[in-house]
Amino acid sequence: MVPYVGSGDYCYSYSLYMSLLGSGASPDHLPSPGFLECLSTMPFGNTYHSRDKLFLFDALDADPGVTRAIETLGWTCQLTRGGDEQSAIERLRAAVKLGPVLLGPLDMGYLKYHPNYAFLGGADHFVVALDVSPDHVLVHDPKGFPYATLPFDDLLQAWRAERIRYIDKPYTMRADFRLAETVSRKAMIARTLPYIRENVQRDPGGPEVYGSVQALHMLAETLRAEVPEHLAGHLLYFAFPLAVRRNLDAQIFLAEGNQLEAAALLEQQARLLGQAQYPGVQHSWSAVAALIDQVADIEERFIAVSASW
């Protein structure tokens, strides 16, 4: 049996957590989904897409983040992608006989057990496949849908991930999870610190994609102008709440690694981003921009502190 745990905005971390539990990991020794989220290094860094006017409080795509977390944990898995529809289903059918299978990225616009699927096209998601029947797959979806069923036609459309910008091959799955080495939590954190340093410093420099502190300043500039509806919805329903949660988990993670100054800075950012929610909902975007400016100042200090990692 694969236990169910879930929270949609941590979809890959909860899906990985379920996959590892279902593959024999001890619940007493497996780090929490929040810790796994930090191992992926997704809570660190910033990205601004100037053409789409889209902001992300991360500097790494989810797919390599999952790989990074698995490797840092000391586990291995079989990662496959590509091929045609039939071979993908055959691979999945064989893989679930060995244990849970981490599927994703998937396009949420085709996950038709979700009541709002029609409004979620192009959003990436990760789930755990548990079983394959003649015409559908059984999944634990961390968005709040344990034991959900999805017909093959819908699965394949979601699994092709054609609207997911960071993936260039369809049918990505991770299966046959195995423990390769025992790694202490202290060692996991130490392994992760250099990646965190790289993330917070990463800035492609444009002209379409910007990162690090510059990305935050560009977001503040956008918020002081006419805020696109899609950006407002993205920030208020997803990016702000997720960033606050990530910063709080990252604060605990770095404090455990004895990086107390860096942890305190993340707690300050969490407070500011949490405070951005109310004025954002009230369309007081200039107030939100002022808070983002403060987040950017703290990010500069965080980068300076992390330079020695």
Per-residue pLDDT of 255-309, as tens digits, reads: 999 999 999 999 999 999 999 999 999 999 999 999 999 999 999 999 999 999 9
Q: Specify the pLDDT at position 285.
A: 98
Asked if residue 105 has a cis previous peptide bond (ω within 30° of 0), the answer is yes
Residue 102 has pLDDT above 90, yes or no: yes
Q: 75 falls in which pLDDT band (50, 70, 90)? A: very high
Q: Which residues of 132-155 are buried (b: 16+ CB within 10 A; e: fewer)?
A: beeebbbbbbbbebbebbbebebb
DSSP state at residue 257 = T
Rounded mean pLDDT of the chain? 96
pLDDT of residue 8: 63
Amino acid found at 136: H
247's tokens: 């910063």
pLDDT at residue number 128: 98
* CA 187 – CA 44 distance, rounded (Å): 19
Residue 268 has a pLDDT of 98
Q: Percent of the chain scored above 90 by pLDDT? A: 96
Tell me what pLDDT residue 2 has. 82
pLDDT at 1: 74
Q: What's this model's pTM, rounded to 2 decimal places?
A: 0.95
pLDDT at 203 over 90: yes
> What's the pLDDT score for residue 189?
98
Pairing of strands 209-211, 47-49: antiparallel
For residue 27 the two structure tokens come to 């619940």
96, 128 in Cβ contact below 8 A? no
> What are 1-29's pLDDT values in tens digits?
787 877 768 999 999 999 999 999 999 99
Q: Give pLDDT tens digits for 139-167.
A: 999 999 999 999 999 999 999 999 999 99
Decide: 75 and 67 in contact? Cβ < 8 Å. no
The predicted model gives 29-54 an average pLDDT of: 96
Handedness of CA 160, 166, 168, 173 (dihedral sign): negative
CB 18 within 8 A of CB 254: no
CA 203, distance to chain mean position in Å, is: 19
Within the chain, where are the H helices? 11-22, 33-39, 62-73, 85-95, 152-160, 185-201, 212-224, 229-234, 240-256, 260-275, 277-281, 285-306
Cα angle: 170, vertex 61, 171; to 5 degrees: 15
What are 45-57's pLDDT values in tens digits?
999 999 999 999 9
Task: Quote the pLDDT of residue 121.
Answer: 93
What average pLDDT score do residues 192-196 get?
98
| 193 pLDDT above the threshold of 80 | yes
Average pLDDT on 126-147 reads 97
